[in-house]
């Protein structure tokens, strides 16, 4: 087996044990309120910027409006957010948090901060910064260029 194969096997092992569980670790505080982590992030955005438009959220996240709409539907159904027509242009709809949505966002944020503080206590701030820096570099150099490739190119490379 080559060094490259060893590296691949180690990467798969880390993915199966650590990275998959990292998603659960991050999303667990939001799940108490029937939210995914993505839905919580959208709720937090609406809480911090009341009146934000769906298309602004989609643009910030670099996703389609329909992708945000699907996430937003849960926030609306749980009465965490409401839609209001913009007075200056009645064709536009602003997103506003409800009192319950504000409480949920605050509770989830508090629990996430507590969990993250434990993580930093265990792992250390300097090592945590280094880990995040390495992950960010990997994302910028490997993951994002792969995601930015046109779909046809990806199919030819697979």
**Ordered domains of the chain (ranges, CATH):** 3-152 (1.10.10.10)
Specify the DSSP class assigned to residue 88: S
Helix and strand numbers (H, E) in the chain are 9, 3
How many CA atoms lie less than 13 Å away from 155 in the CB half-sphere? Answer: 3
Q: Rounded mean pLDDT of the chain?
A: 88
Does the pLDDT of residue 156 top 60, yes or no?
no
Pairing of strands 93-97, 81-85: antiparallel
The larger pLDDT score, comparing residue 144 to residue 115, is at 115
pTM of the model: 0.78
- Measured between alpha carbons, how far is 49 from 26 in angstroms, rounded to an integer? 23
E-state strands within 10-155: 52-53, 81-85, 93-97
Chain centroid to Cα 101, Å, comes to 18
The larger pLDDT score, comparing residue 79 to residue 90, is at 79
- Measured between alpha carbons, how far is 77 from 20 in angstroms, rounded to an integer? 28
At residue 13, the 3 state secondary structure works out as helix
- Among 6-10, 75-79, 103-107, 152-156, the range scoring the smallest mean pLDDT is 152-156
């Amino acid at each position: 087996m080559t060094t490259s194969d060893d590296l691949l096997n180690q990467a798969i092992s880390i993915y199966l044990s650590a990275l998959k569980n990292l998603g659960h670790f991050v999303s667990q505080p939001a799940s108490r309120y029937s939210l995914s982590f993505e839905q919580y992030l959208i709720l937090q955005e609406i809480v911090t910027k009341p009146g934000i438009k769906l298309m602004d959220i989609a643009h910030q996240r670099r996703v389609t409006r329909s992708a945000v709409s699907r996430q937003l539907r849960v926030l609306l159904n749980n009465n965490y957010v409401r839609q209001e027509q913009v007075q200056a242009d009645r064709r536009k709809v602003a997103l506003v948090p409800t009192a319950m949505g504000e409480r949920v966002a605050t509770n989830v944020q508090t629990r996430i901060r507590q969990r993250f503080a434990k993580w930093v206590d265990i792992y250390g701030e300097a090592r945590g910064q280094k880990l995040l820096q390495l992950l960010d570099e990997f994302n910028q150099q490997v993951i994002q260029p792969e995601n930015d490739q046109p779909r046809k190119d990806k199919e030819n490379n697979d």
